[in-house]
Chain A
């Protein structure tokens, strides 16, 4: 009997990518919530000693860390309801966009992570990156995966379900519907997919969490500048 466990944190979009993939494949799993700020579990520290972070997938006791690595593993272990194209070149393109999202995450999230001049710089760059994503990544497709959702949609799911909450928490707008019409259309389509609609964190709880975290970061920023 296969045993699948997912170590996660309730608000993490990285964890949700894995949840969506498991549910899409009808894989039964046990979810274990980690207390990331107070005390990480022994299981987490043993399973991901390098990064010590979630998500971690445990399949029959064997741990896999890093959300994109986990997504590829899920796709290979449970190949039904495919989430990646069969054609090698199209798969390479899908992997390219997932890597783009990972590499650019510090800039894309800079509006939330940073302050002052650095934040302003990040916001400007992030808007350009979103335009590139819309033009070259999404193109004229309904989803990044084409007519159906795929791993790339999951990887950018945070733009659909988390971004506007974080924008409200911070008081900064990164993604305007007028300047990114195709991306906003994708956001609406993505949120309507039943799998996604039924599996996103509670918005009010997220807003309160991100506002609190933003304040904590602001205090750290101010005190680090004072010292």
Chain B
């Protein structure tokens, strides 16, 4: 090729073509992230928070749990439960497992788990404690009445106090930074009004330090945008109580 023509060919044809192909390749390699969820689910909220912390674009799909979608049944055939994170067609089930997955795949931004293995073990321990104790004991508070409810309240407050003790004077459970245990627990804040109203007690009165921690978490966009309004959750709980014949 003539020397004088080469720069022109490069400028007008080759470079744009290569750029276009590169751009197309980037497009086809873009992550496809879908979240199957149910708006009042504290487990779903955990995944929403993690995705928001990392700035990941995703498609949110609301599931009707009385009429589960074929996609949900296909992606979670064992438990048939939300949340399900679907990344490039592959499902990740169980909220805390999905949060860890998000942290591992999108590792270059806003770490959720600490980097030190011992701190990670502590974070996993407390997240596991929250998983085993908070949802179940909280549920008993709004599902029961009389003496059974008093017992349930005692148990629930006991667990919150245990967590408040673990928080101590730290800003967040992990220390200075918002992390895994905070993500595991803060969604239950959206259910506090429901627990308090059904059980006639005040979580602020019982656990003031925990409520201060809640306020710090709610200052984060990722949390504020992922949690539904407490009154909306309370209305939902009232509907459930009616449906299950609980006065």
Residues on A lying within 8 angstroms of B by beta carbon are: 50, 59, 62, 64-66, 68-70, 72-73, 76-77, 88-89, 91-92, 95-96, 99-100, 132, 136
Contacts and interface: CB of A to CB of B under 8 A. Distances in A.
Contact of B162 (A50, A68, A99): A50
Given A96-B93, A136-B77, A136-B78, A89 B121 contact: no
Chain B contact surface mostly? helix
Nearest to B77: A136
B92 A92 contact: yes
A76 B124 CA distance: 13
Given A64-B118, A73-B118, A99 B101 contact: no
Contact of B97 (A50, A70, A96): A96
Given A50-B129, A132-B78, A92 B124 contact: no
Given A73-B117, A77-B117, A88-B105, A99 B124 contact: no
Contacts of A72: 120-121, 124
A66 B117 contact: no
A92 B98 contact: yes
B128 A66 contact: yes
Give the interface size class of chain B.
20 to 34
Given A76-B117, A77-B117, A136-B77, A89 B90 contact: yes
A92 B101 contact: yes
Interface of B: 77-78, 87, 90, 92-94, 97-98, 100-101, 104-105, 117-118, 120-122, 124-125, 128-129, 162
23 contacts: A62-B118, A64-B122, A64-B125, A65-B125, A66-B124, A66-B128, A68-B128, A69-B121, A70-B121, A72-B124, A73-B121, A76-B120, A77-B117, A88-B104, A89-B92, A89-B101, A95-B94, A95-B97, A96-B93, A96-B97, A99-B97, A136-B77, A136-B78
A100 B78 contact: yes
A57 B86 CA distance: 35
B94 A69 contact: no
Nearest to B92: A92
B121 A64 contact: yes
B104 A91 contact: yes
Contacts of B97: 92, 95-96, 99
Q: Which 10 pairs between the two chains have the least Cβ-Cβ distance?
A: A73-B121, A76-B117, A92-B101, A88-B104, A69-B124, A92-B92, A64-B121, A95-B97, A69-B125, A89-B90
Nearest to B126: A50
A69 B117 CA distance: 11
Contacts of A91: 101, 104
B189 to A, nearest CB: 22
A207 to B, nearest CB: 31
A68 B124 CA distance: 9
